[in-house]
Amino acid sequence: MSGFDWNELIETPGAWLDGDGSENEIVLSSRVRIARNLNGHRFTHNCDNAELGEILRKSLDAAQRTRAFAHSRYVSMGEISTLDRHFLAERHLVSREFLANSVSRGLVFAADENVSLMINEEDHLRIQGFASGFDIGTAYRRANDLDDEIAPDLDLAYHERLGFLTACPTNLGTGMRVSVLIHLPGLVHSKEIHKLLESLRKLHHSIRGFFGEGSEVMGNFFQLSNSAALGTPEDVMIKNLREMVVKVIAYEQRSREMLFRKAQRLLEDKVWRAYGLLRYARSVSTKEALSLISAVRLGVGAGLVTDVSIRTLNEMLVYIQPAHLQKRKGTPMDREERDVARALHIRDVLARDGH
């Protein structure tokens, strides 16, 4: 476990973006997050810096002895800039909540970014396992393997009846949250998304924005996850979410088929206008770019656009974000400068893909 070269990280996308997974046009990635806390310590929101520092030390000692982190990178969140912290959030390595009050907070992540550990977020430990496409099983295996490796070296807070103890009651029990990052333009354009949201709530699932809890929905990209962990075994939780995602994929596919049947010319025009703007625009905001990428992604799924890969579109979603643009440039930029740099990056990527 060691520090790392930020430039190397900037130039190397996370493996979960490679677009090789199942149902990869609709499901971008799968994630399993496991929350754990150390026995004998208060939850992080009640800790002072000294206690947080002790939790960090114990957790790092355990993490560095695992096989999962044999080739890993470590970041002390309190020792990096605000820009660097936002960069890590854009990579989905840390939550937005992890960015504030960064003293005695640490991040450990594997070189391929398929597994990571946030220390002293809402819970003492937040283990994350990622996989490309619709592959909850692989994401679970990665997170669970790290949990199994790290647990023997730590006295974890566990109650015989309640299971693993967590700061938020909804995570009691397994401490596990299973989610997929999913693209649903068909359901949005057909106005069926609100019915889906209501159905998910009734079935104890939730849907959030691109960066998870508290984030804005942009570009028709959503995070779909289970809502509670108490009383539900891990295998049942995974089975339930997998079945739910299968149904959502089917709903999305039917919505797309209906839209193309009823308004094919309008949708084709939307796709190609979006493609043209991405190829030639000189300035574009994050929100507009995500909307345009969503339309082109819809065109790729329909077989209209054939010279842009899913991997390119996946990577673009991350590399057009504000912190990534500034890290690549090597200097801070204001909003107008970022919009220009974003358009240039997109043009360069699409020109490369087209050849």
In this structure, are 65 and 190 located in the same domain? yes
In a domain, 220, yes or no: yes
In a domain, 172, yes or no: yes
In this structure, are 139 and 281 located in the same domain? no
In a domain, 1, yes or no: no
**Number of domains comprising the chain:** 2
What range defines the domain where residue 299 resides?
263-354
Cα separation, 47 vs 124, whole angstroms: 10
List Cβ neighbours of 305 (8 Å cut-off, separation of 6 or more): 271, 275, 296, 299
Residue 110: pLDDT band (50, 70, 90) is: very high
In a domain, 43, yes or no: yes
Regarding predicted confidence, which is higher, 178 or 230? 178
Domain-ending residue, one of 256, 277, 305: 256
In this structure, are 173 and 66 located in the same domain? yes
What CATH number did the domain enclosing 202 receive? 3.30.590.10
In this structure, are 186 and 212 located in the same domain? yes
pLDDT in tens, 32-86: 999 999 999 999 999 999 999 999 999 999 999 999 998 899 999 999 999 999 9
Q: How many C-beta atoms surround the C-beta of residue 166 within 10 A? A: 23
In this structure, are 250 and 273 located in the same domain? no
In this structure, are 166 and 77 located in the same domain? yes
pLDDT in tens, 182-200: 999 999 988 888 888 888 8
For residue 9, the model assigns a pLDDT of 86
Do 32 and 178 touch, CB atoms closer than 8 A? yes
In this structure, are 221 and 328 located in the same domain? no
In this structure, are 243 and 270 located in the same domain? no
Helices (H), 75-172: 82-90, 136-150
What average pLDDT does the chain have?
A: 91
